[in-house]
Structure 1
Amino acid sequence: MFEALKPLPQDPILQLMQTFRDDPRPDKVDLGIGVYKNDAGATPIMAAVHEAERRLLEGETTKSYVGPAGSQGFNDAMARLILGNESSLIRDGRTSVVQTPGGCGALRMAAEFLRLCQPDTTVWVSTPTWANHLPLLGGAGLTIREYPYLNQNTLQVDFNAMLEALEGARAGDVVLLHGCCHNPSGADLTLDQWQAVTTLIQRKGLLPFVDMAYQGLGDGLDQDAAGLRHLASQVPEMLVAASCSKNFGLYRERTGALMLISATATINAAATSQLLSVIRSHYSMPPAHGAAIVETILGDEGLRKLWQDELDGMCKRILHLRHAFADALAPAGDFGFIARQRGMFSFLGITPEQVRRLREENGIYLLESSRVNVAGLNDRVLPGVAKAIRNIL
């Protein structure tokens, strides 16, 4: 049976990672892989995570299953983190959260749940969007349609084109939105634009699905969730996929959550039972360790403050790098959009050939699309990177 299978080309990001590792140049710079890096060029374990793990090691008494929904303490903490402590949606029982294997697990279980609700579901995604959105959602059998999002000339949100395209969506269609720190562009909706999208979704009877992978790395925890919270307060139903990879640094622990918001508590209980059945038929139980870390941190006042202070420092560092990078590139053109964008990523707007020259001549690695991980920069390498980009321009 296996002999009929043909090898597939390697994923471009994974291939870039391997090429970078094989490059012997000591001054090479990785701006392609989407992980946060500190000033030393390392992806650190956060201090709050270290302390939470120490407490877990000392106090954990079992490795038994946690159940298909995961830890209730983690789920409750994630609901409050996403929607706010005073959310009436939580108070009224209109929300439920299940723990998932990372944000990818949340996205795929949402897709499987949507197919269960309506087999011919259509999901509208932004152009561009995170590359893995397409196989995660389309692989579940959902129909994918695209709405324009980023103007390739200005590298800013083409909001009028976005609204015009979504006017073509039909009642019951799903609209996938990035909660903050849009990947791969860094171009976010303003709160006014979130409000306009909410009005369109209400008028056309669409189902919003928000991917919140970077909460806290744009402008702050509450600021980054403002658009999502407004939308959630106005619609009867909604899905939210959340990841703890970036804001807790738990990349390899695969810690995520999927939230359902329903019109009533009764409907939400029925929907959650169906979602749990979907989960049971796929991976049965989520991994526990990463969620236990998050639950420990968010449940302890001291650890939460330690985590939030460190997260705020990461956020401010990215903002500093954005402004410094835009200033350093200014002699070659207007790169002010980098300073205006948020999160880890931006497009430079250079050609694949120029990207290859950066890699071959300077050991600077980024995706051929010109997506750059701003968080991979630091004050030591930034001048050299900017000079190399100015030279090829």
Structure 2
Amino acid sequence: MLETLKPQAEDKIIRLMAQFREDPRDGKIDLGVGVYKDATGLTPVMRAVRAAGAELQASETTKTYTALAGDSQFHAVMRDLILGDAVPASRVAAAATPGGTGALRIACDLIRKARPGARVLMSDPTWPNHPAIAQDLGLVPATYRYFDEASGTVDFAGMKADLSAISADDIVLLHGCCHNPTGANLTPAEWDELVALLKAKGATVLVDIAYQGFGDGLEEDAYGVRALAKALPELLIAASCSKNFGVYRERVGILLALVPEGTETALVQANLAALNRLNYSFPPDHGARLVQTILTSETLTADWKAELEEVRLSMLGLREQLASELRRLTNSDHFDFVARHRGMFSRLGLSPEQVERLRVEFGVYMVGDSRINIAGLNTESVPKLAAAIAAVL
């Protein structure tokens, strides 16, 4: 049987990580993998996470299973973090999942059960796992215009034109904030316009929000998803705690399902629990319990928010430094969009040949489409990167 399996495509980022590790050069720069790093190159354990871990270690009395959909208090604190008071809690079903990827998988599984073979429209470009998960579950990936390579901005006119042609049977996948891989985000006014369009079309929306707090702030980054929740009869939200809580290896995610008024929330909740059961039985709890501990403590929440703001501002500072250096070295404002982008990523608009030259000649590692992880930089490596980019233009 096993000999009939087909070879799988190698993950480009995993390959890039291996190349970086094998490169003996001092001063090499890793801008590929999507993990936050501080100025020393480490992914730190946040202060509140460490404190919550100590508290949990002292107070936890059992390692028995939680519910199939995870702990209801975790659902509640995550619902409040993401949706605020946009909708009544009674309209939201939820399931804890292994990371944001697990939430996306359960979301697509739920779509498959409700609408087999549905078309799922995704931004062009999008995170490669989006179409891969959808296709693996028998859904049909499609795209809508999103990014203008020349200007490094959102092609909002193209986006609206493409989404104006969808039907009520379609699923539209949106990035909640800090678009991956481009870093180009919708403004609040554009969100309002998009919400009105999607409400008129009647399609179901799935939001992937993996970077809340990394862009313009916790509340500001939730603007789009909350506007959608207020306006649409139903909504699916896949969220991750990997970035904003720094609990990457704990695999903490959640799927929220906003249920139409008049529909039994319990029906949707039971389906989410059943899907969890089929995929991995009970979801992991330790990381979710850490997040829950933080968000139910005023002291820990305040410290977490303060450190998250430090992280956000450090990335904005690196963006502004890189844009300034590129402006100086190229005598052009072409790369000013880097300072306007938000989150961990920006797509620079370099060719694959230029990206390869950066790796071979300068030890700068980025994904082939020229997506860079801003958090892979520090104040000393920014000038080196800018000089290398200027050299290959």
The TM tier, using the shorter chain, reads: over 0.9
User: AA paired with 2:390?
Assistant: R
Separation (CA, whole Å) in 1 of partners of 2:297 and 2:140: 43
> Deviation at 1:89?
2.4
Q: Flag structure 1 segments of 5+ consecutive residues without an equivalent.
A: none
Alignment-derived partner of residue 23 in structure 1: 23
User: AA paired with 1:121?
Assistant: A
Give the CA RMSD over aligned residues: 1.1
> Deviation at 1:60?
1.2
Determine if contact 2:86/2:229 at 8 Å carries over to the other structure.
Answer: no
User: AA paired with 2:284?
Assistant: P
User: AA paired with 2:63?
Assistant: K
Alignment-derived partner of residue 131 in structure 2: 134
Alignment-derived partner of residue 34 in structure 2: 34
1:84-163 equivalent positions in 2, closer than 5 A: 84=84, 86-90=85-89, 93-163=90-160
1:174-253 equivalent positions in 2, closer than 5 A: 174-253=171-250
> Deviation at 1:123?
0.9
SS at match of 1:153: coil
User: AA paired with 1:108?
Assistant: R
Determine if contact 2:93/2:268 at 8 Å carries over to the other structure.
Answer: no
Determine if contact 2:125/2:147 at 8 Å carries over to the other structure.
Answer: yes
1:276-307 CA distance string (max 9 Å, x none): 11221111110111101000000101110110
Separation (CA, whole Å) in 1 of partners of 2:73 and 2:9: 41
Determine if contact 2:87/2:229 at 8 Å carries over to the other structure.
Answer: no
Separation (CA, whole Å) in 2 of partners of 1:51 and 1:340: 34
User: 2:282 matched to 1:272?
Assistant: no
Between Structure 1 and Structure 2, how many residues are aligned?
Answer: 390
SS at match of 1:281: helix
Separation (CA, whole Å) in 2 of partners of 1:240 and 1:4: 37
Select the residue among 288, 293, 300 that pairs with 1:291.
288
SS at match of 1:219: coil
Alignment-derived partner of residue 338 in structure 1: 338
Determine if contact 1:175/1:208 at 8 Å carries over to the other structure.
Answer: yes
1:60-99 equivalent positions in 2, closer than 5 A: 60-84=60-84, 86-90=85-89, 93-99=90-96
User: AA paired with 2:348?
Assistant: L
Separation (CA, whole Å) in 2 of partners of 1:87 and 1:230: 8
Separation (CA, whole Å) in 2 of partners of 1:339 and 1:22: 32
> Deviation at 1:233?
0.3
Determine if contact 1:95/1:265 at 8 Å carries over to the other structure.
Answer: no
Separation (CA, whole Å) in 2 of partners of 1:176 and 1:381: 35
User: AA paired with 2:117?
Assistant: D
Determine if contact 1:122/1:143 at 8 Å carries over to the other structure.
Answer: yes
> Deviation at 1:265?
6.5
Separation (CA, whole Å) in 2 of partners of 1:114 and 1:88: 22
Alignment-derived partner of residue 310 in structure 1: 307
SS at match of 2:184: coil
Separation (CA, whole Å) in 2 of partners of 1:171 and 1:2: 41
Q: Flag structure 2 segments of 5+ consecutive residues without an equivalent.
A: none
Separation (CA, whole Å) in 1 of partners of 2:72 and 2:271: 18
Separation (CA, whole Å) in 1 of partners of 2:376 and 2:244: 15
User: AA paired with 2:2?
Assistant: F
Determine if contact 1:94/1:265 at 8 Å carries over to the other structure.
Answer: no
Separation (CA, whole Å) in 1 of partners of 2:32 and 2:210: 18
Determine if contact 1:97/1:257 at 8 Å carries over to the other structure.
Answer: yes
- TM-score (structure 1 length as normaliser): 0.97
Separation (CA, whole Å) in 1 of partners of 2:179 and 2:168: 25
SS at match of 2:147: coil
Moved >4 Å (runs of 4+): none
Alignment-derived partner of residue 172 in structure 1: 169
- TM-score (structure 2 length as normaliser): 0.97
User: AA paired with 1:94?
Assistant: R
Separation (CA, whole Å) in 1 of partners of 2:87 and 2:374: 37
1:345-375 CA distance string (max 9 Å, x none): 0011111111111111111100110001111
Compared CA separation, residues 9 and 95, structure 1 to 2 (3 A): closer
SS at match of 1:303: helix
1:125-154 CA distance string (max 9 Å, x none): 000001111111221111111101001211
SS at match of 1:63: coil
Determine if contact 2:46/2:245 at 8 Å carries over to the other structure.
Answer: yes
Separation (CA, whole Å) in 2 of partners of 1:3 and 1:284: 29
> Deviation at 1:177?
0.5
User: AA paired with 1:115?
Assistant: R
Stretch of structure 1 that moved more, 247-256 or 5-14: 5-14
SS at match of 1:145: strand
Determine if contact 1:121/1:174 at 8 Å carries over to the other structure.
Answer: yes
Separation (CA, whole Å) in 1 of partners of 2:263 and 2:173: 25
Compared CA separation, residues 252 and 240, structure 1 to 2 (3 A): same
Separation (CA, whole Å) in 1 of partners of 2:263 and 2:291: 29
Separation (CA, whole Å) in 1 of partners of 2:377 and 2:32: 11
Determine if contact 1:359/1:365 at 8 Å carries over to the other structure.
Answer: yes
